[in-house]
Amino acid sequence: MAVDELQAIIQRCQILEEADFKGEDFNLFQVAGQKCLEDGYAAQLLEVIQNEKNKVIIKNMGWNLISPLVRCIFMYKQEDDKREHCLRILDQLAQLCNPKELFLGLLEQIEQTSGEQVCQTVMLLLQPLQTVLLKLQNKKAYSVGLSLAMVMNQLTPLPVPYTKQQIQEDKLGLCQCCNAVVDFAKPFVNEVVKNMEKSSECNDMELKEELIKFCMKSLKYPLLTAQLEQLEGIEEHPFRHFATEIIDILWNLGELIPLMFVHHKGKSPHWEDEEFADTERKNSADSLACLSYLMFVQHFGVECFPVVFSPSYLLLCNMTHIEVLLKRTEESVLSKGLDLFESCLLRLEDNSLLHHYLEFRHFINVPQDLVKIMTLCPMEPMRKKSLNILQLFIDKFDTEGKYTLFRCLLKTSNHAGVEGYIIKNIKDQIHLALTKEYDNIWFTGHHLISLLDLVLSLPEGAETDLLQNSDRIMASLNLLRYLVIKDCESDHQAGVWSTLGKIEQNFLKPLRVGLNMSKTHYEAEIKNKKENRKEAHSSNTVCSVTVSGEKMPPMTTGMQLQVLHSALFTFDLIESVLARVEELIEVKTKAVMDEN
């Protein structure tokens, strides 16, 4: 019987000195203890462990029971007495075993767990692990850091619940587990804080650093991808609670505010391994970006933040974080980047952001990232929000800033729709310049002429794909029509008439040639399709179309004709505006000649 075998081994070891225990004794104790657990004799094993005479044996050999003990705990149901006995054994082992040996045994058990049992195992072993760590005298900081790193590494592969239903179900127990890890870390945080209160210099610098590393990892996972908006029907949002706890730890350690400005210190740890250094920098950037989101969007810890900084300086500090978030493609992370950017911009008054800020590379990179989201993101709400935020960003700059930003976006966007949108903004700024009393040198005179060289041009002359560039071309024609009408009314303030010859040569004439070529080509295509329609109908011929490497649904002849007619309609629209512009120029030119 398993209990008899265990008793025999215990009696044999009771007469030995601690130093005389052999490897064979450890093995026999482990096998017998495991058999007791598996055969349902947990209560008898508990009695053996609680017996004062066996204290030395349990101290040296008890840690070997951790693995079978954990297996049995998960095997029994919650209400089973045997499970309760196993839990009490685990508690006793934490109290009686050699801390160093038990620490390694517990960590090994956490490391070996996987899949759906990760959170259950971690939550089961956190309390005994905490008990053991509090007993350790040597290498305590290292051991705490190793424990937290091991736990976070095991949790990181798990999917983060995102929807309200997923958070409420918490299928894998991640929400509960994250908050249990924070509770596990609190005694060590309190220990560091007490030492900081006693002395101006922290004596537990190593332990403090390990706790900061844990907070940084927590910011990257799960908080970076977690849904952190307040959800109706969830009284205490688990991830919001977790975020609050992480912010509190950083504040108590005196690191919350320094971390907010870490990018502006210009310091980073030196690593020999460049690949490792790049990974560390990326992880740190993700964590700090999440921290800024928590502070400025969700307002966690905002009461601790100094109110001495100007909105423009806060935007400057956050542009690094915004760029990091907007580079990501996950909806949960991308939305955080957009929210953080919007939050920072809304603090600023319109026209208050100085053009000098565009000398910082992030102020050029971020609008380009917005353009990518507007044009490439598959999620419509994200595309629309990006467009709104781009307009908000434009509105905040002074006149020279707007001018510089427009030039930059026209050169870099490579998207006709975006270019058309920017040209419409340029038209609005010209209108303000011509109708307001104060001088605006950036959207009149030679600066405007320089900008018009970019706007009123065709990328490939007469051979430009007019259909692809129709948004830009229509916006450019509308701008030119406005200028032709308005420049005479404002005493040639815009200066467009002085460069009319260049505009006609570089824009209007190539556009007219291109229109004629395109219309002729599409009309011929329509004619061919109509002539072949009967034949195509009788043979059920369809056309296969490939877009961006993906095969689209086959097109019938009728559908192809519809597309071709739509293209012709676009050309007619462009031609009508072009004709109006040419008519206005002719009328104005004739009027000037008559005057002379």
Give the C-alpha separation, 274 to 267, whole Å: 16
Domain count, the chain: 1
Give the C-alpha separation, 142 to 417, whole Å: 56
Residue 434 falls within a domain, yes or no? yes
SS3 547: strand
What is the structure's pLDDT at 267?
A: 45
What is the structure's pLDDT at 265?
A: 46
Residue 188 falls within a domain, yes or no? no
Domain that holds residue 569: 398-533+553-595
- 21 neighbors 61 (Cβ within 8 angstroms): yes
Residue 387 falls within a domain, yes or no? no
Query: In 3-state terms, the chain is what percent helix, strand and coil (to 5)?
Result: 75, 0, 20
- 133 neighbors 147 (Cβ within 8 angstroms): yes
What is the structure's pLDDT at 493?
A: 63
Q: Nearest 5°: phi and psi at 550?
A: -105, 135
What is the structure's pLDDT at 500?
A: 84
SS3 267: coil
Instruction: Name the residue among 449, 385, 390 with its Cα closest to residue 421.
Output: 390
Cα separations (Å) of 448 from 248, 409, 454? 53, 16, 10
367 Cα distance to chain centroid = 16
Query: 555-556 and 550-551 as β-strands: parallel, antiparallel, unpaired?
Result: unpaired
SS3 109: helix
SS3 397: strand
Contacts of residue 417, defined as CB under 8 A and 6 or more positions apart, other chains included, come to 375, 471, 472
What is the structure's pLDDT at 266?
A: 45
Residue 484 falls within a domain, yes or no? yes
Residue 500 falls within a domain, yes or no? yes
pLDDT digits (tens, 9 = 90+) for 425-434: 999 999 998 8
Residue 486 falls within a domain, yes or no? yes
What is the structure's pLDDT at 271?
A: 44
Query: 542-543 and 555-556 as β-strands: parallel, antiparallel, unpaired?
Result: antiparallel
What is the structure's pLDDT at 200?
A: 59
Read off the pTM.
0.88
Residue 465 falls within a domain, yes or no? yes
Give the C-alpha separation, 479 to 473, whole Å: 10
What is the structure's pLDDT at 13?
A: 67
**CB neighbourhood size of 371 (10 A):** 23
Which tokens belong to 48?
A: 């053996």
What is the structure's pLDDT at 533?
A: 66
Q: Nearest 5°: phi and psi at 253?
A: -85, -5
Q: Give me the residues of the chain with pLDDT under 50, please.
A: 264-271, 489, 547-549
Residue 517 falls within a domain, yes or no? yes
